[in-house]
Amino acid sequence: MKVKNIPYYGASRIVRDISCDIRESDYIPAFIQGNEACVEAAIMANLGFYGGYPITPSSEIAEMFSRRLPQDGKVFIQMEDEIASIASCIGASIGGLKSMTATSGPGFSLMQENIGYAVMAEIPVVIVDVQRLGPSTGAASSPAQGDVMQARWGTHGDHPILVLAPGSVKESFEMTILAFNFAERLRTPVIILSDEVIGHMREKILIPPQEYVLIENRKQPTERPASYKPYSNDTDVPPMSVIGQGYRHHITGLLHDENGFPTSNKQEINRWYDRIYKKFDDNIKDLFMYDEYMVDDAEYLFISFGISSRMAIKAVDNARKEGIKAGAVKLLTLWPLDEEYIASVVAGKKLVVVPEMNRGQLVYDIQRISEGKVPVKHVGRTDGVMIDPNAILEAIK
Protein backbone atom coordinates (compact mmCIF):
# COMPACT_ATOMS: atom_id res chain seq x y z
CA MET A 1 0.00 0.00 0.00
CA LYS A 2 1.31 3.42 -1.00
CA VAL A 3 2.03 6.02 1.62
CA LYS A 4 0.83 9.47 0.59
CA ASN A 5 2.15 12.76 1.82
CA ILE A 6 -0.71 15.01 2.66
CA PRO A 7 -0.25 18.68 3.59
CA TYR A 8 -0.46 19.27 7.36
CA TYR A 9 -1.35 15.65 8.05
CA GLY A 10 1.92 14.07 6.98
CA ALA A 11 2.44 10.50 5.81
CA SER A 12 -0.93 8.82 5.40
CA ARG A 13 -2.45 5.55 4.35
CA ILE A 14 -6.05 6.60 4.86
CA VAL A 15 -6.39 10.07 3.37
CA ARG A 16 -7.40 10.14 -0.29
CA ASP A 17 -5.26 11.87 -2.90
CA ILE A 18 -7.21 15.05 -3.06
CA SER A 19 -6.40 17.87 -5.37
CA CYS A 20 -8.76 20.42 -3.85
CA ASP A 21 -7.38 22.95 -1.40
CA ILE A 22 -6.60 21.28 1.86
CA ARG A 23 -6.71 23.60 4.80
CA GLU A 24 -5.07 23.05 8.12
CA SER A 25 -8.21 24.29 9.80
CA ASP A 26 -10.11 21.31 8.39
CA TYR A 27 -8.17 18.99 10.68
CA ILE A 28 -9.19 18.60 14.27
CA PRO A 29 -6.18 18.55 16.58
CA ALA A 30 -6.61 16.11 19.44
CA PHE A 31 -4.43 15.13 22.38
CA ILE A 32 -5.74 11.64 22.99
CA GLN A 33 -4.91 8.08 24.02
CA GLY A 34 -4.40 5.23 21.57
CA ASN A 35 -7.64 3.67 22.81
CA GLU A 36 -9.48 6.93 22.14
CA ALA A 37 -8.00 7.15 18.65
CA CYS A 38 -9.40 3.72 18.01
CA VAL A 39 -12.87 4.91 19.03
CA GLU A 40 -12.71 8.08 16.91
CA ALA A 41 -11.55 6.12 13.88
CA ALA A 42 -14.20 3.43 14.28
CA ILE A 43 -16.91 6.08 14.43
CA MET A 44 -15.47 7.69 11.29
CA ALA A 45 -15.48 4.27 9.62
CA ASN A 46 -19.22 4.12 10.39
CA LEU A 47 -19.19 1.54 13.14
CA GLY A 48 -22.75 0.38 13.81
CA PHE A 49 -22.30 -2.07 16.66
CA TYR A 50 -19.96 -2.55 19.60
CA GLY A 51 -20.32 -5.58 21.87
CA GLY A 52 -17.76 -5.99 24.63
CA TYR A 53 -16.81 -7.03 28.13
CA PRO A 54 -14.62 -4.83 30.35
CA ILE A 55 -10.94 -5.65 30.75
CA THR A 56 -7.85 -3.58 31.48
CA PRO A 57 -6.18 -2.06 29.47
CA SER A 58 -8.96 -1.90 26.88
CA SER A 59 -11.93 -0.75 28.99
CA GLU A 60 -11.78 2.91 27.88
CA ILE A 61 -12.82 1.77 24.43
CA ALA A 62 -16.07 0.26 25.73
CA GLU A 63 -16.71 3.23 28.03
CA MET A 64 -16.32 5.75 25.23
CA PHE A 65 -18.49 3.78 22.83
CA SER A 66 -21.20 3.44 25.48
CA ARG A 67 -21.47 7.24 25.49
CA ARG A 68 -20.91 7.94 21.81
CA LEU A 69 -22.75 5.24 19.87
CA PRO A 70 -26.29 5.85 21.20
CA GLN A 71 -25.85 9.55 20.34
CA ASP A 72 -25.79 8.52 16.70
CA GLY A 73 -28.49 5.86 17.07
CA LYS A 74 -25.87 3.09 16.94
CA VAL A 75 -25.66 0.06 19.21
CA PHE A 76 -23.50 -0.44 22.28
CA ILE A 77 -24.06 -3.54 24.37
CA GLN A 78 -22.10 -4.95 27.28
CA MET A 79 -22.31 -8.71 26.91
CA GLU A 80 -21.90 -11.36 29.64
CA ASP A 81 -18.40 -12.37 28.55
CA GLU A 82 -15.98 -12.13 25.63
CA ILE A 83 -17.40 -15.20 23.89
CA ALA A 84 -20.79 -13.50 23.76
CA SER A 85 -19.11 -10.22 22.76
CA ILE A 86 -17.49 -11.57 19.62
CA ALA A 87 -20.56 -13.67 18.82
CA SER A 88 -22.85 -10.63 19.06
CA CYS A 89 -20.46 -8.67 16.80
CA ILE A 90 -20.53 -11.39 14.16
CA GLY A 91 -24.33 -11.50 14.43
CA ALA A 92 -24.56 -7.72 13.96
CA SER A 93 -22.26 -7.94 10.94
CA ILE A 94 -24.54 -10.61 9.45
CA GLY A 95 -27.26 -8.01 10.03
CA GLY A 96 -25.29 -5.54 7.91
CA LEU A 97 -23.58 -3.39 10.55
CA LYS A 98 -19.86 -2.76 10.82
CA SER A 99 -19.01 -4.21 14.19
CA MET A 100 -16.17 -4.25 16.65
CA THR A 101 -15.07 -5.54 20.02
CA ALA A 102 -12.02 -4.77 22.16
CA THR A 103 -10.30 -6.82 24.82
CA SER A 104 -6.98 -7.94 26.28
CA GLY A 105 -5.24 -11.34 26.66
CA PRO A 106 -7.72 -13.27 28.85
CA GLY A 107 -10.67 -12.09 26.78
CA PHE A 108 -8.80 -12.58 23.53
CA SER A 109 -8.28 -16.23 24.50
CA LEU A 110 -12.03 -16.63 25.03
CA MET A 111 -12.80 -15.15 21.62
CA GLN A 112 -10.71 -17.54 19.59
CA GLU A 113 -13.29 -20.16 18.63
CA ASN A 114 -15.67 -17.58 17.26
CA ILE A 115 -12.95 -15.66 15.41
CA GLY A 116 -12.64 -18.92 13.50
CA TYR A 117 -16.36 -18.76 12.76
CA ALA A 118 -15.89 -15.33 11.18
CA VAL A 119 -13.05 -16.77 9.08
CA MET A 120 -15.14 -19.75 8.03
CA ALA A 121 -18.36 -17.87 7.29
CA GLU A 122 -16.41 -14.87 5.90
CA ILE A 123 -18.00 -12.25 8.12
CA PRO A 124 -16.25 -8.88 8.52
CA VAL A 125 -15.51 -7.96 12.15
CA VAL A 126 -12.76 -5.98 13.91
CA ILE A 127 -11.16 -7.19 17.14
CA VAL A 128 -8.83 -5.00 19.17
CA ASP A 129 -6.44 -6.79 21.51
CA VAL A 130 -4.73 -4.30 23.82
CA GLN A 131 -1.99 -6.63 24.95
CA ARG A 132 -1.04 -7.01 28.59
CA LEU A 133 1.70 -9.03 30.23
CA GLY A 134 1.77 -12.76 30.78
CA PRO A 135 -0.47 -15.78 30.37
CA SER A 136 -3.57 -16.17 32.57
CA THR A 137 -4.45 -12.99 34.49
CA GLY A 138 -0.81 -11.90 34.18
CA ALA A 139 -0.27 -8.22 34.92
CA ALA A 140 -3.30 -6.21 33.87
CA SER A 141 -1.69 -2.83 33.37
CA SER A 142 1.78 -3.82 32.20
CA PRO A 143 2.64 -3.75 28.51
CA ALA A 144 3.80 -6.75 26.50
CA GLN A 145 3.75 -8.06 22.96
CA GLY A 146 3.07 -11.65 23.85
CA ASP A 147 0.00 -12.27 21.67
CA VAL A 148 1.75 -12.18 18.28
CA MET A 149 1.42 -15.90 17.67
CA GLN A 150 -1.99 -16.12 19.32
CA ALA A 151 -3.26 -13.47 16.91
CA ARG A 152 -1.87 -15.56 14.05
CA TRP A 153 -2.87 -19.03 15.20
CA GLY A 154 -5.27 -18.56 18.13
CA THR A 155 -8.27 -20.17 16.50
CA HIS A 156 -7.94 -23.82 15.53
CA GLY A 157 -7.48 -25.14 12.01
CA ASP A 158 -5.59 -23.71 9.05
CA HIS A 159 -6.68 -20.21 8.17
CA PRO A 160 -5.34 -16.89 6.92
CA ILE A 161 -5.74 -13.84 9.18
CA LEU A 162 -5.00 -10.13 9.02
CA VAL A 163 -3.28 -8.56 12.04
CA LEU A 164 -2.37 -4.86 12.20
CA ALA A 165 -0.03 -3.38 14.82
CA PRO A 166 -0.09 0.37 15.55
CA GLY A 167 3.01 1.94 17.09
CA SER A 168 1.60 5.36 17.93
CA VAL A 169 -1.69 7.14 18.56
CA LYS A 170 -1.78 8.33 14.96
CA GLU A 171 -1.26 4.79 13.78
CA SER A 172 -3.99 3.57 16.13
CA PHE A 173 -6.30 5.91 14.27
CA GLU A 174 -5.12 4.86 10.82
CA MET A 175 -4.93 1.12 11.52
CA THR A 176 -8.50 1.17 12.85
CA ILE A 177 -9.80 2.84 9.67
CA LEU A 178 -7.83 0.32 7.62
CA ALA A 179 -8.95 -2.62 9.74
CA PHE A 180 -12.57 -1.83 8.83
CA ASN A 181 -11.69 -1.24 5.18
CA PHE A 182 -9.86 -4.55 4.89
CA ALA A 183 -12.51 -6.45 6.86
CA GLU A 184 -15.17 -5.18 4.48
CA ARG A 185 -13.10 -5.59 1.34
CA LEU A 186 -12.01 -9.16 2.12
CA ARG A 187 -14.96 -10.38 4.23
CA THR A 188 -12.68 -11.36 7.05
CA PRO A 189 -12.03 -10.75 10.74
CA VAL A 190 -9.21 -8.25 11.30
CA ILE A 191 -7.24 -8.07 14.53
CA ILE A 192 -5.66 -4.86 15.79
CA LEU A 193 -2.78 -5.79 18.07
CA SER A 194 -2.23 -2.81 20.31
CA ASP A 195 -0.61 -2.86 23.75
CA GLU A 196 -0.94 -1.20 27.12
CA VAL A 197 1.48 1.64 26.27
CA ILE A 198 -0.06 2.46 22.88
CA GLY A 199 -3.57 2.18 24.37
CA HIS A 200 -2.96 4.53 27.29
CA MET A 201 -0.30 6.87 25.89
CA ARG A 202 -1.45 10.37 24.90
CA GLU A 203 -0.11 11.99 21.75
CA LYS A 204 -1.23 14.87 19.63
CA ILE A 205 -2.80 13.84 16.36
CA LEU A 206 -4.68 15.64 13.63
CA ILE A 207 -8.00 14.02 12.87
CA PRO A 208 -8.71 14.44 9.16
CA PRO A 209 -12.19 15.54 8.12
CA GLN A 210 -14.48 12.65 7.22
CA GLU A 211 -14.59 13.64 3.50
CA TYR A 212 -10.84 13.20 3.18
CA VAL A 213 -10.84 9.65 4.47
CA LEU A 214 -11.43 6.67 2.26
CA ILE A 215 -14.07 4.41 3.85
CA GLU A 216 -14.87 1.08 2.22
CA ASN A 217 -18.06 -0.96 2.49
CA ARG A 218 -18.72 -4.59 1.66
CA LYS A 219 -19.71 -5.41 -1.86
CA GLN A 220 -23.37 -6.42 -2.06
CA PRO A 221 -24.95 -8.77 -4.54
CA THR A 222 -26.81 -7.37 -7.52
CA GLU A 223 -28.00 -10.65 -9.03
CA ARG A 224 -31.38 -12.24 -8.44
CA PRO A 225 -31.62 -14.35 -5.26
CA ALA A 226 -31.95 -17.55 -7.30
CA SER A 227 -28.52 -17.10 -8.90
CA TYR A 228 -26.73 -15.64 -5.87
CA LYS A 229 -23.96 -17.80 -4.43
CA PRO A 230 -22.79 -16.36 -1.11
CA TYR A 231 -19.55 -18.36 -1.32
CA SER A 232 -18.98 -18.35 -5.06
CA ASN A 233 -15.53 -19.45 -6.16
CA ASP A 234 -15.73 -17.38 -9.34
CA THR A 235 -14.24 -14.44 -7.48
CA ASP A 236 -11.85 -14.09 -4.53
CA VAL A 237 -14.36 -12.22 -2.41
CA PRO A 238 -18.00 -12.97 -3.24
CA PRO A 239 -20.47 -10.17 -2.50
CA MET A 240 -22.15 -10.44 0.90
CA SER A 241 -25.90 -10.04 1.19
CA VAL A 242 -27.54 -8.54 4.24
CA ILE A 243 -30.36 -10.51 5.81
CA GLY A 244 -33.72 -9.06 4.92
CA GLN A 245 -32.73 -8.25 1.33
CA GLY A 246 -34.44 -11.36 0.03
CA TYR A 247 -31.46 -13.68 -0.47
CA ARG A 248 -32.32 -16.02 2.42
CA HIS A 249 -29.15 -18.06 2.25
CA HIS A 250 -27.48 -20.30 4.81
CA ILE A 251 -24.53 -19.32 6.98
CA THR A 252 -22.59 -21.99 8.86
CA GLY A 253 -19.29 -22.69 10.59
CA LEU A 254 -19.18 -26.07 8.87
CA LEU A 255 -17.15 -26.42 5.69
CA HIS A 256 -19.64 -25.51 3.00
CA ASP A 257 -20.31 -25.38 -0.71
CA GLU A 258 -20.78 -22.24 -2.78
CA ASN A 259 -24.38 -21.91 -1.55
CA GLY A 260 -23.31 -22.11 2.08
CA PHE A 261 -24.60 -25.64 2.74
CA PRO A 262 -22.44 -28.14 4.64
CA THR A 263 -20.27 -30.31 2.45
CA SER A 264 -17.81 -33.15 2.83
CA ASN A 265 -16.92 -33.14 -0.86
CA LYS A 266 -13.14 -32.94 -1.08
CA GLN A 267 -13.13 -30.84 -4.22
CA GLU A 268 -15.50 -28.31 -2.71
CA ILE A 269 -13.45 -28.15 0.47
CA ASN A 270 -10.23 -27.63 -1.50
CA ARG A 271 -11.79 -24.93 -3.61
CA TRP A 272 -13.00 -23.08 -0.53
CA TYR A 273 -9.59 -23.32 1.12
CA ASP A 274 -7.78 -22.17 -2.03
CA ARG A 275 -10.04 -19.17 -2.33
CA ILE A 276 -9.75 -17.92 1.24
CA TYR A 277 -5.96 -18.14 1.03
CA LYS A 278 -5.97 -16.59 -2.43
CA LYS A 279 -7.78 -13.49 -1.27
CA PHE A 280 -4.87 -12.79 1.05
CA ASP A 281 -2.13 -13.84 -1.37
CA ASP A 282 -3.49 -11.76 -4.25
CA ASN A 283 -3.71 -8.68 -2.07
CA ILE A 284 -0.48 -9.08 -0.13
CA LYS A 285 1.08 -5.84 -1.45
CA ASP A 286 -1.92 -3.88 -0.16
CA LEU A 287 -2.31 -5.78 3.07
CA PHE A 288 1.33 -5.75 4.07
CA MET A 289 2.27 -2.31 5.41
CA TYR A 290 5.59 -1.22 6.82
CA ASP A 291 7.79 1.85 7.27
CA GLU A 292 11.53 1.90 6.61
CA TYR A 293 13.99 4.03 8.55
CA MET A 294 17.51 4.45 7.12
CA VAL A 295 17.61 1.01 5.56
CA ASP A 296 19.21 1.95 2.23
CA ASP A 297 22.83 1.77 3.36
CA ALA A 298 22.23 -0.20 6.54
CA GLU A 299 24.50 -3.07 7.46
CA TYR A 300 22.47 -3.87 10.55
CA LEU A 301 18.71 -4.08 10.50
CA PHE A 302 16.15 -3.94 13.31
CA ILE A 303 12.76 -5.38 12.45
CA SER A 304 10.11 -4.51 14.95
CA PHE A 305 6.48 -3.46 15.46
CA GLY A 306 4.20 -1.57 17.85
CA ILE A 307 5.77 0.11 20.84
CA SER A 308 9.12 -1.69 20.36
CA SER A 309 9.58 -0.17 16.91
CA ARG A 310 10.01 3.22 18.56
CA MET A 311 12.91 1.80 20.58
CA ALA A 312 14.35 0.31 17.41
CA ILE A 313 14.29 3.70 15.69
CA LYS A 314 15.96 5.30 18.70
CA ALA A 315 18.59 2.56 18.56
CA VAL A 316 19.23 3.39 14.89
CA ASP A 317 19.81 7.05 15.80
CA ASN A 318 22.21 6.05 18.58
CA ALA A 319 24.05 3.64 16.28
CA ARG A 320 24.43 6.25 13.54
CA LYS A 321 25.95 8.66 16.10
CA GLU A 322 28.60 6.05 16.73
CA GLY A 323 29.16 5.61 13.01
CA ILE A 324 27.40 2.25 12.83
CA LYS A 325 25.21 1.87 9.76
CA ALA A 326 21.93 0.64 11.24
CA GLY A 327 18.39 0.84 9.90
CA ALA A 328 14.94 -0.20 11.01
CA VAL A 329 11.79 -1.65 9.54
CA LYS A 330 8.55 -1.08 11.40
CA LEU A 331 5.91 -3.65 10.53
CA LEU A 332 2.40 -2.24 10.60
CA THR A 333 1.02 -5.53 9.32
CA LEU A 334 2.15 -8.50 11.35
CA TRP A 335 0.18 -11.13 9.50
CA PRO A 336 0.32 -11.97 6.69
CA LEU A 337 4.01 -11.17 6.21
CA ASP A 338 5.16 -10.30 2.72
CA GLU A 339 7.89 -12.91 2.68
CA GLU A 340 9.30 -11.61 -0.60
CA TYR A 341 9.82 -8.19 0.95
CA ILE A 342 11.32 -9.52 4.19
CA ALA A 343 13.73 -11.74 2.24
CA SER A 344 14.85 -8.79 0.11
CA VAL A 345 15.26 -6.35 2.99
CA VAL A 346 17.34 -8.72 5.14
CA ALA A 347 19.52 -9.83 2.20
CA GLY A 348 23.15 -8.87 2.59
CA LYS A 349 22.82 -7.54 6.13
CA LYS A 350 25.52 -8.37 8.65
CA LEU A 351 22.93 -8.98 11.34
CA VAL A 352 19.19 -8.65 11.80
CA VAL A 353 17.77 -7.95 15.25
CA VAL A 354 14.11 -8.42 16.16
CA PRO A 355 13.22 -6.45 19.28
CA GLU A 356 9.81 -7.42 20.68
CA MET A 357 8.41 -7.41 24.21
CA ASN A 358 8.16 -11.17 24.55
CA ARG A 359 10.41 -14.21 24.75
CA GLY A 360 10.63 -14.61 20.99
CA GLN A 361 7.67 -14.82 18.60
CA LEU A 362 8.00 -12.74 15.41
CA VAL A 363 11.72 -13.54 15.36
CA TYR A 364 11.09 -17.15 14.39
CA ASP A 365 9.32 -16.18 11.18
CA ILE A 366 12.06 -13.67 10.31
CA GLN A 367 14.62 -16.45 10.86
CA ARG A 368 12.64 -18.84 8.70
CA ILE A 369 12.36 -16.34 5.86
CA SER A 370 16.09 -15.49 6.14
CA GLU A 371 16.89 -19.18 5.48
CA GLY A 372 20.11 -19.00 7.48
CA LYS A 373 21.69 -16.60 4.99
CA VAL A 374 21.64 -13.77 7.52
CA PRO A 375 22.03 -14.17 11.28
CA VAL A 376 18.86 -13.14 13.12
CA LYS A 377 18.86 -12.31 16.84
CA HIS A 378 16.07 -11.63 19.29
CA VAL A 379 16.03 -8.90 21.92
CA GLY A 380 13.12 -9.25 24.31
CA ARG A 381 11.75 -8.39 27.70
CA THR A 382 8.86 -9.76 29.74
CA ASP A 383 8.79 -7.69 32.92
CA GLY A 384 6.49 -4.89 31.80
CA VAL A 385 9.37 -2.52 31.04
CA MET A 386 9.96 -1.30 27.50
CA ILE A 387 13.05 -2.47 25.68
CA ASP A 388 16.01 -0.12 26.18
CA PRO A 389 17.35 1.17 22.82
CA ASN A 390 20.83 0.49 24.20
CA ALA A 391 19.97 -3.19 24.62
CA ILE A 392 19.18 -3.29 20.89
CA LEU A 393 22.47 -1.53 20.11
CA GLU A 394 24.36 -3.93 22.37
CA ALA A 395 23.04 -6.84 20.32
CA ILE A 396 24.95 -5.72 17.22
CA LYS A 397 28.23 -4.96 18.98
Partner 1 sequence: MKERTTPFIIDNLRGNKQFPTVWCPGCGNGVVLSSIVRAINKLGIDKNYVTLVSGIGCSGRLPAYVDVNTVHTTHGRALAYATGIKLAKPEMEVIVVMGDGDSLAIGGNHFIHTARRNIELTAIIINNRIYGMTGGQYSPATPTGSISTTSSYGNIDQPFDISKMAEVAGAGFVARSTVYHVAEVEKFIEKGIEKKGFSVIEVLSNCHTYYGRMNKIKGPVDLLNYFKDNTALNTTNIQGNEDKIQRGIFVDRDVRGFIEEYENVIVKARRQKKYSRT
Tell me how far apart the alpha carbons of residues 274 and 281 are, in angstroms, rounded to a whole number: 10
Strand partners, 52: 78
* 3-state secondary structure (DSSP) of residue 162: strand
Nearer to partner 1, 249 or 278 (CB): 249
Binding test (CB under 8 A) with partner 1, winner from 81, 340, 383, 394: 81
Tell me how far apart the alpha carbons of residues 308 and 303 are, in angstroms, rounded to a whole number: 9
CA angle 45, 110, 105 (to 5 degrees): 75
Give the residue from 113, 51, 69, 123 showing the smallest Cα distance to 93.
123
Asked whether the CA dihedral 79, 140, 155, 159 is positive or negative, the reply is: positive
Nearer to partner 1, 59 or 99 (CB): 99
293 CB-contact burial (10 Å; exposed 0-12 / middle 13-18 / buried 19+): middle
Binding test (CB under 8 A) with partner 1, winner from 1, 30, 75, 110: 75
Nearer to partner 1, 202 or 248 (CB): 248
Strand partners, 131: 195
Q: Which residues contact 385 (CB under 8 A, 6 or more apart)?
A: none
Question: Closest approach of Cβ 45 to partner 1, in Å?
Answer: 16
Q: How many CB atoms lie within 10 A of CB 147?
A: 23
Q: Does residue 157 bind partner 1 (CB under 8 A)?
A: no
Q: Of the listed pieces 29-37, 70-78, 184-192, 345-353, which binds partner 1 according to CB under 8 A?
A: 70-78
Binding test (CB under 8 A) with partner 1, winner from 30, 79, 284, 324: 79
Q: Does residue 248 bind partner 1 (CB under 8 A)?
A: yes
**Rg for the chain, CA atoms, rounded:** 21
Question: Closest approach of Cβ 341 to partner 1, in Å?
Answer: 36
Q: Does residue 55 bind partner 1 (CB under 8 A)?
A: no
Strands 162-164 and 333-335: antiparallel
Binding test (CB under 8 A) with partner 1, winner from 35, 103, 114, 308: 114
* Residue 21 per-residue DSSP state: P
Nearer to partner 1, 8 or 261 (CB): 261
Question: Closest approach of Cβ 295 to partner 1, in Å?
Answer: 44
Q: Does residue 239 bind partner 1 (CB under 8 A)?
A: no
Binding test (CB under 8 A) with partner 1, winner from 13, 26, 63, 95: 95
Question: Closest approach of Cβ 176 to partner 1, in Å?
Answer: 20
Q: Does residue 220 bind partner 1 (CB under 8 A)?
A: no
Binding test (CB under 8 A) with partner 1, winner from 32, 94, 315, 329: 94
Q: Does residue 259 bind partner 1 (CB under 8 A)?
A: yes
Subset of residues 196 to 215 that bind partner 1, contact rule: CB under 8 A? none
Question: Closest approach of Cβ 278 to partner 1, in Å?
Answer: 25
Q: Does residue 90 bind partner 1 (CB under 8 A)?
A: yes
CB 337 within 8 A of CB 369: yes
**Which string of DSSP letters, residue by residue, matches 185-211?**
HHTSEEEEEEEHHHHH-EEEEEEPPGG
Report the interface residues with partner 1, using CB under 8 A. Answer: 48-49, 51, 67, 70-71, 73, 75, 77, 79-81, 83-85, 87-97, 99, 113-114, 117, 243-254, 259, 261-262
